[in-house]
Amino acid sequence: MTGLIVELILSWVLLWLFSKSNLLMLGISPTKPRIYNLLSGFLIASVFCFIYYYSVAGLSGSSLVFNSDFGAGKFFKSSWWVLNSVLFEEFIFRGALLYIAIQKLGTRNACILSAVAFGIYHWFSYGAFGNIRQMLIIFIMTGIWGLMFAYAFAKTKSMYLPIGLHFGWNLVNTVVFSQGPLGQQLLITSSNKKLGGNLSLVFFVLQIVAVPIMVYMYLRRQKKGHEYYR
């Protein structure tokens, strides 16, 4: 939480120095359209994450079992950790720096720059630096999702949609399916069976592109001049 507060202060300073504006330019004040985007983003990412992992488990012959040591207290503690990590990353990569970059470089270049930075950042957060194969995979996966988050911010002029998407995926991925740094959470895979061959490749690609495609379609349906653009 302390890191997030420091981040907000630095964001305010940067916005004032480079654009004579404040944190409200990041679209953080709640409005109905923004809350709708937050919930929509959360549902898009979380529902796909459920479908993805249950499909992988079913097709690989693995089974998911409930962790008997996982209770409400651990759920809220883990969820709070995920939320803090998501907000920390969002205010770095989709906050003041992206807003300023859009003003200086244009939307396209700024979004690409944000996505590249997001991909490189995960080399270190995942501890993969030095392993070329892992670095390439991580860069492709997180870079494409970083581009999606940046595009969502640029189109809605608000952080609500990227936060909803980011939190929806990370919450289900980490807290429900135990696929993160917190270890065993709600569901545990009973075996180490993996998808093989072309099926493995198909699901790898789906994990990377399915949600960005859905977000692109979602944003295309949004009417120009809608309230959240203000």
Dihedrals φ, ψ of 121, to 5°?
A: -55, -40
Look at the block and give the residue holding tokens 């392993």: 131
Integer Cα distance of 64 and 66 in angstroms: 7
Helical spans, DSSP H, in the chain: 2-19, 32-60, 72-93, 96-105, 107-125, 132-156, 160-170, 197-221
The pTM assigned to this predicted structure is 0.92
Integer Cα distance of 208 and 17 in angstroms: 36
What was the pLDDT predicted at 225?
46
pLDDT band at 216 (very low <50, low <70, confident <90, very high): very high
- The answer to whether 211 touches 145, Cβ cutoff 8 Å, is yes
Task: Give the burial class of 159: count Cβ atoms within 10 A of its Cβ; 0-12 exposed, 13-18 middle, 19 or more buried.
Answer: buried
- Does residue 227 register a pLDDT over 80? no
Integer Cα distance of 51 and 79 in angstroms: 20
Integer Cα distance of 46 and 210 in angstroms: 12
Q: From 124, 171, 151, select the one nearest 212 (Cα to Cα).
A: 151
Give the model confidence (pLDDT) of 84-110 as tens digits.
999 999 999 999 999 999 999 999 999
Give the model confidence (pLDDT) of 169-210 as tens digits.
999 999 999 998 999 999 998 777 778 778 888 998 999 999
Give the model confidence (pLDDT) of 33-86 as tens digits.
999 999 999 999 999 999 999 999 888 888 889 999 999 999 999 999 999 999
What was the pLDDT predicted at 62?
86
What's the whole-number mean pLDDT along residues 132-138?
93
Tell me the Cα Rg of the chain. Answer: 18
- The answer to whether 21 touches 95, Cβ cutoff 8 Å, is no
DSSP codes joined into one string, 97-116: HHHHHHHHH-HHHHHHHHHH
Integer Cα distance of 33 and 179 in angstroms: 32
pLDDT band at 17 (very low <50, low <70, confident <90, very high): very high
- Does residue 230 register a pLDDT over 60? no
Q: In the chain, what are the domain boundaries?
A: 2-22+33-229
